[in-house]
Structures are given as structure tokens and as C-alpha cells.
Structure 1
Amino acid sequence: VFALILWPPRRDWKSDSAFRAAVFLAVSYFVLFIMHAWASLASQYESYSCVFCFSNYLTFFDPLGLLFFVVAFHAAWNRHPARAVQILAVFLVVALSTGIGFSLFEHVGDGLLNLPVPRMREGQFLPDSAKLVDVLKYGFDLQLAQIKRLVSSFLGLAAGLAALVVAFSLWRRNKTARYSLALVNSYLVMGLVLSPVLNLGENSIHCKEDLILANERLGGYLASIIPPDSLVYWDGGNAFTPMVYVPHARIFPPQINDGYTYHFGGDPDTLYRFSHWNGELDAEWRNAADVFIIEAKRYSNWKDFLDPREFQEYPKPADAPSCDEGAELRIFHRLP
């Protein structure tokens, strides 16, 4: 975005090849951005929408944006942008910082919420201190989710304002370039420096298990208990990988993508042709399947269907396909 708003006139580019490279990188990046934004956000009523996946999608092609910025900066940076462009750069820094902070509200941990703040009443400071979360909760009648959003947004805004101050101090020392250039560079450097602390005090759980080996062992276990030519119904989560080790079983291909290809309504034949499915196909498959593989945290939705008089559970496998809580698999087979 900064490379676009500071895009220089054609005559200021050092070479035609640099200009063509910048255009190619910019078009590629923003076309991919729009495509993934539509797929994950605008198409929220389609089966393949995934709002929370959007930020992950961007990492697929983020290097294009970085290369675009580098090429534009090196080959033809606009060192004397108009005043309107500089105002736009300031606005973008503040808006982006606040938005980034807001997006991280789920990561606000106790370390921030329990920060001591002065107590006040009727404009007067009181002895001792109170927790930040208590001040906002009882003083402004806010719920915990609202408090987290407010705190994270404020921290993002503070980071943006800090970037403005740092850029201003750098610009005052050397006024040969415009303030917007100092702002963009200081903002990018600040983002790089602060990137390790974006968890905002929340502890991250890192999986220490060898998941490749776990999936191999899990697949071997499934292959040993599932009879040949069995029709398998999969509700074991996003990781369909273990079924790769069970080539003698039959599956319902649309379930490979779990619920991401599930539709409400629609023609079953048309959906199946495009490897999608709906409630009608789901009911048909449940009645036809011989083996059911259920993720442990989803088992509560299956209790009524998996009647012990009709289904028997295999011994639970020792391995799970992921480190997520409740990711263990439970396997049932239909009784004769």
C-alpha cells in the first residue's frame, strides 16, 4: 500500500525493466489479494468460505508484496510526494495500527488485563491501585470481550502514534526528504521489531509431538482394523492424512475437505459432481457407511446416532492427528 501511494511518475524510474517488474509484482499481489479476500470474506455464504483463514492466505504470496516494495523503493521512490499523499500516509499508519491491534484482541492475556492502574473517584486519585480489567468492567460497564477489543485497539493506536513521533524526530534531523518517507520507513522497522511480541502477553501452545510420525502410526492402526472394501464415513477433523494409509477402504471424496465443501440445500447430484455435499448426501452416507471415524470433540453430536446396539467402538488409537485438544479419533463399525 505504501509503495502504491508513493508511486513515482514514469519518467523517474531508473530503468524500464524495474518499472515492468514493479507493475508485474503489484498486479500479481493485488489480484491474488482480491481473489483470496473474495473467497474467504465476500463469499461467506458459500461452502468454501473461511473468514479466519484470510490472514493465513495472505502468507502464501506475501513475498510478492515485499519484493514490490523493495523494487519501488530502490528504483524510483517518490521522495517529494504531494501534501495530500503525506496526509494519506499518516492516516494509513494510524488506521492500520489500530486495526492490527483490534485483530489481536483474542490474544490479550492476563498480563495486560491485570496491569495496575490508579483508582479515581469524582476526579480525585484514591490510595492503592486497581486492575485495568476491573476499572473498565465496573467503571464503564464493559464485558470481557469488549475490554479485550478496547485494550488491543488502544495498544495498536499507541504503536501507530509512536511511529509518528519517531518519524517526526528523524525528519527534524534531516529535512532533505519528505516526512512521509521517514514515517513509512520507521513504521516498517517498528513492525519488524515488535513482531515477536504481537501475542500481547498470551502464552502460545507449541506442539512438541512429531506429527508426521503420529499420522503414520495412526494410519497404520486404521489400516489394521478397517476391513477391506469398507465404506468409511469421515468426521475426524481437517486432517484426512491418516486415511492415505488405508488404500483398501472406500471413502466419500467430498469429506476430504471436511465441512468446507458442505452446502445447505442444493441438488445432490450437482454438488457431488463438484466434490461438494449437503444434508441429503450426508444422510445417505450415514446409512450406507460401514465404519465411522469421529473426532473426539465432535462425539457429542454423534451419541444418539451411534447406538451401542448397532455400532461397536474399536480400541482407541494411541496417536492423534494433531496436537489440538479433542483431536483424538474414535472409530466405530456397524454391527452385522
Structure 2
Amino acid sequence: MGRRARDYDERDVRVRPNRRGSRPRTKERPAHDDAVVGMVTAVDRGRWTALVPADGEHPERVVIAMRARELGRTPIVVGDQVAMVGDTSGADGSLARIVRVEERRSVLRRTADDTDPVERVIVANADQLVIVSALANPEPRPRLIDRCLVAAYDAGMDPLLVLTKSDLARAEDFLAQYEPLGVPHVATAVLEPGSAGLEELRGRLAGRVSVLVGHSGVGKSTLVNALVPDADRATGDVNDVTGRGRHTSTSAIALRLPGGPGGVGWIIDTPGIRSFGLAHVEPARIIEHFPDLAGGAEQGCPRGCTHDEPDCALDAWVADGHAGPGGEGRLDSLRRLLRARSDP
């Protein structure tokens, strides 16, 4: 006969007493109705700098904050509107807590390369992507510009192409390849107050939140210093051996432009880039920004069409005149942008 199983009673139940001062956990989070909202202008080693606008009781102030524990790893980037509690006075030595990231109007993303599935948020709530490229020294990189255009279209941002060093090369020759896209552009040579190119650029930036991107050495930091005289962004030269610029900006920062007739604008300067991964961008989202071609894709393209293959219906759509007089150039531009996702 086997051993009889033991009968259990209440003496075998071990009750763990509550720790002194502990409270039961709850999934409910405080509403933080008293939180103040500010715009993140800089990020530095776990501290966020946010500008809180003036209200009836308090003047405009700069608040330093840390991320609240309940936010976990929620990304908080320059341009975000964040709700803060705690010491939001902005006094020296004060530290607030970011308890909420407000809904974003737009998000500019990139991946490390085209095989990396992890998206990295660069900037939030911008409405214009300013792609800065030199016409010479260093030579322009059309593929990188194309990738930035794809990122702008994907984020729902308006692109603006700024060509520096126009005294060294003709801007018209380079701009011919972007004419079918209708990308607005500004060419600058001398970045001095009152110069035609600089004043035109000021007008296009007024009243908007603009992100500046470009590879190192194109004069982006010099441009920022000309637009915001007290920005004091470090500048560098092009390496004579490699032909590449040296990284000078090491982190993104939002700078307020001097007020003008078009309203107060912001520029967000970002570190120089040498690649712009687009693994997160679906081709279907790119063609949405070509409404004159999207109709042909919907009506005749086979499922999964890359729009750059023999069975693509866009060739016939353009040949029949449905895309207008500039349709052929527009189709070539679309296919160039689609190839930019896989051509480094």
C-alpha cells in the first residue's frame, strides 16, 4: 500500500503580512491635471530642456526635467510637447518630471540602415524638412537628398532644398533633376545680413517649425549661425583627403528665429548625417505624394507592384496623358525615390 497523501488544512496556508507603509499596486495613473506643457528644445544625458510659454500668472521660462518612471522608455525628442509636474519654476537647480508626451502632429524617423527594423525618432512636431547641400566642396550627394525627400513625404512634412556655396557652382544645373518634383529651393552664397539668399530663406522659415538636415561640411552650422546670431553653433572645414566634412553638431537643438512679418519660427539643427536609413518607409506611402500618378497605380498595377517593373501600369498611364504634360519627368522622379530605399 502506497503512502497516504497528507491532508492539508488552514495551518498549511502561509499568509505574507503587508509590509509597513506599502500600498497595493494599481494600474490607474494620476491625471496630472495641474501639469504645465512646454516644448522640448534640447536633450542631454537624461535631462530635457523645455520652454514653457507665458501665461496670465507666469512669464516664459526654461524648465529642466527628467522622465517620470511611469513613462518607461517612451522616446522624448526635440520638438515634443511634454506635460511636466513638480518644480516647473525654471529656477536654478530646479528639476521637474515629464509625465506625459502630448500627441504629435508629425514625426521624422530614420533607421540606422535599410536592414535595421528599429525606427529612431529624430524630431517631433516639425512641418518643414530643410535639406541642406553644398554645390561644391563637398560635392552634392543626390542619393542622400532623395532619401531625405522620401523621409519628408513619409512624415507629411514639406521639403525645402537649400543649396549653399552657390558662388562655387551653378545651382541651375543641379536643380534640373528636381524640377519635376516641384521642390522649393533657395540658393545661398554669402551668408551675411541682407544678402538675397539669406533673406529669402528667412521668409520661407518664418512662422514654421523647420528641421535642418545635411551631411557634414555643407555649411549647415554656418547657416544656423547666420539665421540665429546668438546660436554659437560650432563650425568645421572639409577634410582635404576624404572630401568629407567633420561633425560639429553633436545633438539636436531647437532655436527660435528672430521675429519677422511671417511670425515667429523655429529651426531644429541636427547632427550631420552620412546615411539615412528608410527601412520603415513603405513604397505605397511614397506614391501617395504623387496624386497625379497614384490613380494609375490603383487602377492597373498588379498586387505588390514596385512601380519599376515591366508590368507596371504607370507607363501607360503617363503615355495616355493622365498625369499631365510633366508626367514622364514625375514618373522618373518617383522611381528614383523608390530606388533610393535600396540604393545607399
- Give the TM-score taking structure 1 as reference length: 0.25
When you count helix as a share of all residues, which structure comes out higher? 1
When you count strand as a share of all residues, which structure comes out higher? 2
- Give the TM-score taking structure 2 as reference length: 0.25
